A and B are shown apart, each in its own frame.
Chain A
Amino acid sequence: MEQAIRAELFDSKKGLPTPPVLVLLSLAAAGVIAAAAWMVFFYAPIEKEMGFVQKIFYFHVPSAWLMLWSAPLMAVGSIGYLVTKKDKWDRLSDAGVELAIVFGALVMITGPLWGRKAWGAYWVWDVRLTSTLVLVLTLVACKIVRGYAGSSAKQIAAGLSILAVLNAIFVWVSVDLWQGSHPPKLVQTLSAEMKSTFWLSVLGFHLAYGALLWSRLRMGKLRTALDRLQMKAVEAGYDD
């Protein structure tokens, strides 16, 4: 029995050691983000209208994009899980939910800082901010329910994350109707230095996203393997 457990844990495909590509990806993400951060503060010029605060833009926008990438990720994972009941889809859905929360939180932190300078208040009921807020709130609720819902938690979490995505769209539409006039959008004219800084930051964030997603999926997979081993042990009679 122990042999079998060992064999499964240290199986060359599922193996415990971190895959070297994942290590490289993480290092690359850290390097690029560090470089981008340096460029943000020491290379890109200070924008005339917004001043120093404009530098938030280099972090805010990539975070928002990544939050948006996470939405289809978790929707696909959730639908896949409800259709097939295969754990790998649930792991994708869960990873998507967590990443959306993380990057949504970044958007929620950087957004008001920007808003304070641009619109004179930390919080305005802007469409994008409001739908991000509601999406993050729903997804956090989804994580809480997953923790407490017992045996059908995975199905419930899948259902909720699908509803959360649909809901975010409706929040967008309804806030759009309600706030007839948007806070003025800042039309940016970016200099070449700003552009290169921005795109480097985008690259760094995406690399980090890839590394996080990979690690999260891997973690889920290992946890499933562990659960399966525990179940095997229980089945073999090593009760409780």
Chain B
Amino acid sequence: MNRAEARNVTKVYGAHRALHKVSLSLTPGCVTALMGPNGAGKTTLLWLFSTLSRPTSGTMHFGALPPERAKEARGWIGLLSHASLTYGDLSGLENVVFFGKLYGAEAPEREARALLTEFGLEDAMHRPAKTYSRGMTQRLGLARALIGRPKLVLLDEPFTGLDRASTRTVIERIGLLRDQGAMVLMISHDVETTAELADEFAILVRGKLKHTHEGRLDAAALRDEYARVAEGAA
């Protein structure tokens, strides 16, 4: 899969318009940062890219699939959401192995161990996931998201609850995904890490895509640009 694109999508919940005519195209080998104030529709857009939610109008395009067959793309998508998406009564390893099997991993056990070790969970991988701290749950969620070797990686606030060392690990891993040619869509509030990682920026304000920037920005420039767009829209 080498394309993921939202074309003119609108999403309405009841009488609330979460997204209004948003078009966003993700590029392989490129990290796209999705920014915006709370309630801007960032998570809604992420769910549209996950195929689990469908736009009220407009279309979602995944690879060469026609929009109505979008859900066939779900095997290529890895999602890290606010919720853990893991079972508290199973150990970290069991969780990742289970999802590895669902994604048809060739050696689920080996791949799961490797991922968990990479994210610093080698000592905790046999403990029930419900005993994990916030940061450990976050890293477990990331391992779960990556076990299917996704080509489209969707990350909702990947750095919350992480300490400095884990943040580094995650940044490196996202960089690696990019180098391997994956499309990464990342929601983040953290200007420093976002500026370090992202190649493209999209800013949503009240459901509308207010600004896109292709090419890298340093933290100061990003802060300026974000302030300008968010205030300009208010």
Task: State if A and B touch, Cβ cutoff 8 Å.
Answer: yes
Q: A residues engaging B (CB < 8 A)?
A: 151, 230-231, 234-235, 237, 239-240
For B9-26 the 0/1 string (1 means CB < 8 A from A) is 010110111001000000
The answer to whether A235 touches B15, judged by C-beta atoms less than 8 angstroms apart, is no
Q: In the complex, what residue of chain A is closest to B208 when comparing beta carbons?
A: A237
Distance in angstroms between the alpha carbons of A143 and B40 in the assembled complex: 35
Distance in angstroms between the alpha carbons of A39 and B13 in the assembled complex: 54
Interface size of B by CB at 8 A reads 8
For B31-58 the 0/1 string (1 means CB < 8 A from A) is 0000000000000000000000000100
Q: A231-B12, A235-B17 are in contact. List 6 more A-B contacts (CB 8 A).
A: A151-B13, A231-B15, A231-B56, A234-B17, A237-B20, A240-B16
The answer to whether B16 touches A235, judged by C-beta atoms less than 8 angstroms apart, is no
Q: In the complex, what residue of chain B is closest to A234 when comparing beta carbons?
A: B17
Distance in angstroms between the alpha carbons of A235 and B55 in the assembled complex: 13
Distance in angstroms between the alpha carbons of A48 and B12 in the assembled complex: 65
Distance in angstroms between the alpha carbons of A240 and B206 in the assembled complex: 13
A-B contact pairs, 6 of them (CB 8 A): A151-B13, A230-B15, A231-B15, A231-B56, A235-B17, A240-B15
Q: Name the B residues within 8 Å of A239 (CB-CB).
A: 16-17
Q: In the complex, what residue of chain B is closest to A231 when comparing beta carbons?
A: B12
Q: Name the A residues within 8 Å of B10 (CB-CB).
A: 235
Distance in angstroms between the alpha carbons of A237 and B12 in the assembled complex: 12
Q: In the complex, what residue of chain A is closest to B18 when comparing beta carbons?
A: A234
Q: Which of A230, A234, A237, A239 has most B Cβ within 10 Å?
A: A234
Q: Name the A residues within 8 Å of B15 (CB-CB).
A: 230-231, 234, 240
Choose from A151, A230, A235 the contact partner of B20 (Cβ within 8 Å). Answer: A235
Q: Name the B residues within 8 Å of A230 (CB-CB).
A: 15
B178-220, CB < 8 A from A: none
Q: Name the A residues within 8 Å of B20 (CB-CB).
A: 235, 237
Distance in angstroms between the alpha carbons of A235 and B13 in the assembled complex: 11
Distance in angstroms between the alpha carbons of A239 and B14 in the assembled complex: 11
B234 to chain A, nearest CB (A): 15
Distance in angstroms between the alpha carbons of A151 and B14 in the assembled complex: 9
Q: Name the B residues within 8 Å of A231 (CB-CB).
A: 12, 15, 56
Distance in angstroms between the alpha carbons of A10 and B13 in the assembled complex: 26
Distance in angstroms between the alpha carbons of A235 and B22 in the assembled complex: 12
Q: Which of A151, A235, A239 has most B Cβ within 10 Å?
A: A235
Q: Which of B10, B15, B56 has most A Cβ within 10 Å?
A: B15
Q: Name the A residues within 8 Å of B56 (CB-CB).
A: 231
Distance in angstroms between the alpha carbons of A230 and B20 in the assembled complex: 15
Distance in angstroms between the alpha carbons of A230 and B56 in the assembled complex: 13
Distance in angstroms between the alpha carbons of A133 and B17 in the assembled complex: 43
Q: Name the A residues within 8 Å of B17 (CB-CB).
A: 234-235, 239
Choose from A151, A234, A237 the contact partner of B16 (Cβ within 8 Å). Answer: A234
Distance in angstroms between the alpha carbons of A234 and B12 in the assembled complex: 8
Distance in angstroms between the alpha carbons of A234 and B20 in the assembled complex: 10
Q: Name the A residues within 8 Å of B13 (CB-CB).
A: 151
Distance in angstroms between the alpha carbons of A237 and B56 in the assembled complex: 16
Q: In the complex, what residue of chain A is closest to B10 when comparing beta carbons?
A: A235
Q: In the complex, what residue of chain B is closest to A230 when comparing beta carbons?
A: B15
Distance in angstroms between the alpha carbons of A240 and B13 in the assembled complex: 11
Q: In the complex, what residue of chain A is closest to B54 when comparing beta carbons?
A: A85
Distance in angstroms between the alpha carbons of A234 and B16 in the assembled complex: 7
Distance in angstroms between the alpha carbons of A239 and B39 in the assembled complex: 14
Q: In the complex, what residue of chain B is closest to A239 when comparing beta carbons?
A: B17
Q: Name the B residues within 8 Å of A237 (CB-CB).
A: 20
Distance in angstroms between the alpha carbons of A230 and B14 in the assembled complex: 9
B41 to chain A, nearest CB (A): 13
Distance in angstroms between the alpha carbons of A240 and B10 in the assembled complex: 16
